[in-house]
Every structure is written in C-alpha cells, then in structure tokens.
C-alpha cells in the first residue's frame, strides 16, 4: 500500500491511504496515511455502520489538505462493537453439527457428512443472502455442493485434476475451499447474536466438518509433490491464528 | 489494527519480519492540489476485490489489477485474495467496510469531494516485495489522469 502511494505520487497524483499496520507505514513513509485501530480485513471499521465508515473516509481524505508531509495520523476511535463485549459465552451456533469420525476408506463419508452439514446451514445462508443483499460465494464457479465434492475428492487415494483446464489443481482446490468457507461464514453471520469475525472463525475451525476438512486438506497439500499444492499446505488454507492455537493445544 | 506490541508473539514476529523486508524510499514525493471539495477521487484497493465475472486473483501473487466501474453494484463484488489471515466476515456483510464506494458517492453528493471517479482499481496486495508494483502503479497513474482523477484513496485489507 505504501509503495503504491509512493509511485502514484511520483507520477503526479496526490494519494491518501488507510494504514492497518502502523509500524510498516512508519518504515515506508507514504505521503499521507491514516492509521486505524481496526482488525485486519476491516479498514473502514465495521460493516453496516455507514456513519462510522464515512467518518473514517473523511478523516483519510482530509489529509489531502495537509501543507507538507509525509503525514501519518491516528484515527482516534475504535470500531463500533457488533456484539455485547460482556457476553463471555460468545457465539454458539444453534445448529447441531457433529464432526465425522475418520474415514479409513477415502473421502466419501466425509462428503456425505459435509453435504448434510451444508443442508442444515442452507436456511441460514438463504437468510444471509436476503439480509446482506448478496453472497460472496461463487469464486470457483461451482455449485456449492460440487465445491464440497471436489474438495473432499482430494482426500482420496487418487486426487482429481483441476475442474477447469484453464487453472492449476492448486488454484481449483483453493477456490473450492474459499467458496465453502464463505458459505459457512455467511450462514453463521445471519444467525441470532450477530456473531463477529473471531467468533465465527472459532466456530468454523473447532466445530464444523468443513473446518476439519480444510485441516485435513492442509496435510494432504503438504505431502503433495505439486508445488502449488505445497503452497496451499504451507499458508493458504488455514490461518496462522488457527495453526498456532492447534499447536498450543497439542502441547 | 492493534499495535504490534499488543499482538501474540508469533503474529508480532511475522509482521516485524515483513517490516524488515519493506522497501525504504529515499525520495519523498508530494503533490499539492485543489481543495477537497473540488477533487475527483478514485479508490485503489489491495484487497483482491473484483466483479463476479472477472478472473479471480491467482494463488501465485502477481501485480495485475482489476477494474471496478463506479456504478458497479455491491452485489456484483466478490473477493479472491489469496491470504486467509484477515477477517472476511465484514466484507461478506458490507462491501463498504473494505471498498467504501457507496460512502465516496455520498461524499460527492454532499459536495465534500468534487466527484467520484468513473473507474476504481483493485490489486491483490500479496505480491512481495511491494516494489514489484511500480510498473503497474505507473500504468495506473496514466489511466487515473485520463479519468480526470486528482486524488487517490488507497485502501488495504
């Protein structure tokens, strides 16, 4: 982000930017930056908070009026909370999802259990689409059930090739997994209690079959001879926060 | 984001390492301009947002961008950023938490800015080091100027 600001300014365009990692912005010193104390993934603070987003946007744009730079200002407010921060119970999905036992015969049983899980979440996903006016599922171009089948097929002894000849098998698996995760996250977000990112993340990785599938696929990818698949296994399927939590719990 | 000092050690170390690798620029370019109320503003995001029919960003990060016409409906926007290490639930509920195009249009209607650009642009910010973006940034500068843009809002994810 800082580099883009530098190059655009060199070419005669005034820039202002949001900074999420203040220490990086201090190093790169772009012309104008507003540091915000919001979680990664939310540079304008909170969804469905137009007045707050507007305030952040105006604060960033006002930096264009500075006489000289570089300018690095701090936005003074935290993002509005989406849930009662005193609620120590956090989000508990009321849909009863139980993880499958390990399947010694390949991926088929996992597929069935995942499709069952998906069916249980479908009414919530339908509600999410209605409430948010859209869904971000669909990067793979597959129906969500087919994305499940494609992903679980990688657990079998003979992993499938890419479902699209234009993209690599790693790219195909990544898109199918991203769609699956987006489906679950959207379904969870529509449920009572207005769960936020961290709560949904914990639920997805600790309680769902889909989360378990992605953890299993991470291992499959790590052992693959394909370099793209190895990349998925290293860092592109499971968040660092989840990897470290698992490490802590296994000690 | 919270300060690095407030993060768990493993995450702090990762980000400190990124900071060590970040480029140090020797020049300090600074472009002056007209008052904010007369500016034409474009958004350039590194969030990997794009229209549903566009080619998704690749698992092998490059510096290509996607074009987002100003009138694009929120329902048409998806995200294919390769990283799994940031929250997406906010974007799933409301595009504007990442790509504040509705807010920008409101500021234009309220005459806080002069106008919103006809075209906005999205990169996937995973390419490293960031100096790789120089050729595409310079290409973009030309395109933005042809759109009459004189102020760019850069937004990460």
The string of pLDDT tens digits covering residues A131-157 is: 999 999 999 999 999 999 999 999 999
Token representation of residue A103: 């399947």
Q: Which residues of B touch A202 (CB under 8 A)?
A: none
Using 50, 70 and 90 to split pLDDT, how confident is the model at B118? very high
The angle formed by the CA atoms of residues B100, B102 and B103, to the nearest 5 degrees, is 65
Q: Which residues of B touch A200 (CB under 8 A)?
A: 89
Report, as an integer, the average pLDDT of B138-147.
97
B87-114 pLDDT, tens digit each = 999 999 999 999 999 999 999 999 999 9
Query: H or E stretch including B77?
Result: strand B77-79
Check residues B42 and A248 and name the one with the higher pLDDT. B42
- A40/A29 Cα distance (integer angstroms): 20
| A17 reaches B (C-beta below 8 A) | yes
Closest chain A C-alpha to B110 CA, distance in angstroms: 12
pLDDT tops 90 at residue A198? no
- Counted across chains A and B, CB pairs separated by less than 8 A come out at 272
Using 50, 70 and 90 to split pLDDT, how confident is the model at A96? low
| A222 reaches B (C-beta below 8 A) | no
Closest chain A C-alpha to B48 CA, distance in angstroms: 11
Read off the pTM.
Answer: 0.90
Report, as an integer, the average pLDDT of A8-15.
97
What is residue B89's three-state secondary structure?
helix
Asked whether this complex has an ipTM greater than 0.90, the answer is yes
| B69 reaches A (C-beta below 8 A) | no
B19-78 pLDDT, tens digit each = 888 889 999 999 999 999 999 999 999 999 999 999 999 998 899 999 999 999 988 999
| A129 reaches B (C-beta below 8 A) | no
Residue contact A3–B4, C-beta within 8 A: no
List C-alpha distances in Å: B148 to A11, B106, B119, B129.
14, 19, 10, 30
| A81 reaches B (C-beta below 8 A) | no
Beta partners for B120? B68
Report, as an integer, the average pLDDT of A239-250.
85
């Amino acid at each position: 982000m800082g580099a883009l600001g530098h190059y655009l300014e060199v070419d005669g365009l005034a820039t202002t930017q949001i900074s999420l990692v203040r220490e990086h912005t201090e190093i790169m010193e772009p012309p104008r930056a507003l540091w915000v104390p919001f979680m990664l993934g939310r540079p304008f603070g909170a969804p469905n908070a137009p007045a707050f987003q507007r305030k952040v946007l105006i604060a960033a744009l006002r930096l264009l009026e500075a006489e000289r730079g570089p300018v690095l200002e701090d936005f003074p407010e935290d993002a509005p909370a989406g849930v009662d921060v005193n609620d120590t119970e956090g989000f508990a999905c009321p849909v009863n999802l139980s993880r499958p036992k390990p399947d010694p015969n390949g991926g088929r049983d996992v597929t069935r259990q995942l499709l069952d899980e998906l069916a249980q979440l479908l009414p919530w996903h339908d509600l999410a689409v209605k409430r948010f006016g859209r869904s971000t599922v669909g990067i793979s171009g597959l129906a969500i059930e087919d994305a499940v089948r494609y992903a679980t097929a990688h657990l079998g002894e003979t992993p499938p090739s890419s479902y699209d000849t234009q993209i690599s098998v790693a790219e195909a698996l990544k898109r199918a997994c991203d769609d699956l995760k987006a489906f679950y996250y959207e379904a969870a977000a529509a449920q009572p209690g207005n769960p936020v990112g961290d709560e949904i993340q914990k639920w997805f990785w600790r309680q769902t079959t889909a989360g378990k599938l992605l953890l299993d696929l991470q291992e499959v990818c790590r052992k693959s001879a394909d370099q793209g698949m190895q990349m998925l296994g290293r860092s592109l399927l499971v968040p660092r926060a989840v990897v470290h939590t698992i490490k802590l719990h296994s000690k | 984001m919270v300060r690095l000092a407030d993060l768990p050690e493993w995450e702090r170390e990762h980000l400190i390492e990124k900071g060590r690798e970040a480029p140090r620029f020797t020049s300090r370019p600074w472009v002056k301009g007209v008052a904010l109320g007369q500016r034409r503003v474009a958004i350039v995001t590194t969030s990997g947002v794009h229209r549903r029919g566009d080619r998704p960003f690749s698992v092998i990060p490059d510096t290509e961008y996607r074009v987002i016409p100003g009138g694009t409906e929120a329902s048409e926007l998806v995200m294919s950023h390769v990283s799994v290490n940031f929250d997406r639930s906010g974007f799933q509920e409301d595009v504007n938490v990442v790509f504040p195009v509705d807010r920008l249009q409101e500021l234009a209607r309220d005459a806080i800015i002069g106008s919103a650009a006809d075209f906005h642009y999205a990169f996937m910010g995973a390419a490293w080091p960031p100096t790789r973006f120089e050729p595409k940034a310079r290409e973009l500068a030309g395109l933005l100027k042809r759109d009459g843009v004189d102020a760019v809002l850069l937004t990460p994810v």
